[in-house]
Amino acid sequence: LSLSLPVWALLLVLVCVELRGSGMASAAPICVHGQAGCHFLSLADLFDRVIQHSARMHSISSDLHSEFEQYVLPSRNHIGRINRHCHTSTILTPNGKENAQRLAREELTEVILKLLVAWKDPLWQFHQNMVHQDDFNNFSSNKALEMSYMVHELRKGVEKVADRMQHLGMISNSLSGLSSPETLDPSSDTSGESQAMSDHDLLYCFRRDSNKVQNYLKILKCRIVPENGC
Partner 1 sequence: MWGEVGGALVLLLLLSEVLDCIGISPPGKPVLINCRSPEKETFTCRWDPGFDGGLPTTHHLYYQKEDSDGMYECPDYQAAGSNSCFFNKSHTSIWVNYNITVVAINSLGSTVSDPLEVDVMYIVQPNAPENVTVSVVETEESPHLLVKWEPPHEADTRSGWITLTYQLRVKRQNKKEGEWEEYASGKQTQLIIYSLHPGDVYMVQLRCKLDHSLWSEWSTTTHTEVPDYILKERSIWIVITVFSAFILLLVTFTLAMKRKYVKHCLLPPVPGPKISGLDTQLLKSGRSEDILSSLINQGFPPTIATKDQQVDYLLVFDSEQVTPDLQNGQTRTKNIDHGRYDHSLLMEANNKEVKVGGRETVEQGYSEGLESTFWKTKSLSHPCPQKKPFNNVTEMPKQAPVSSKYRSLSHHKDLLDSLARHLDYRETVVKSQSNCDDKHLSSQNIVTPLKAIGYVEVQRWKKSIGLQVLVPKMDKSQEDYSTVSVVENENVVLLKRETVPLNCTSCKLRGNQSEKCLQQKPCKPHMTVPAKEGVYIGSNGYVEPVTISHTL
- Of 118 and 130, the one with the shorter C-beta distance to partner 1 is 118
CB of 111 to partner 1, least distance (A): 12
- Binding residues for partner 1, rule: CB under 8 A, are 58-59, 62, 78-79, 81-82, 84, 89, 93, 95-98, 100-101, 208, 211-212, 215, 218-219, 221-223, 229-230
- Of 20 and 102, the one with the shorter C-beta distance to partner 1 is 102
Amino acid at 32: V
CB of 130 to partner 1, least distance (A): 23
CB of 115 to partner 1, least distance (A): 11
- Of 164 and 208, the one with the shorter C-beta distance to partner 1 is 208
Cα–Cα distance list, 46 to 36, 159, 165, 168, 218 (Å): 19, 11, 11, 13, 12
- Of 127 and 212, the one with the shorter C-beta distance to partner 1 is 212
| Sequential DSSP letters for 133-152 | SSSS-HHHHHHHHHHHHHHH
CB of 143 to partner 1, least distance (A): 16
CB of 177 to partner 1, least distance (A): 27
- Of 160 and 208, the one with the shorter C-beta distance to partner 1 is 208
Q: How many residues does the chain have?
A: 230
Give Cβ neighbours of residue 87 (< 8 Å, ≥ 6 apart).
Answer: 118, 122, 186, 187, 190, 193, 194, 197, 205
Distance CA 150, CA 61 (A): 11
Distance CA 174, CA 106 (A): 8
Nearest-10 crossing angle of helices 120-132, 105-118: 20
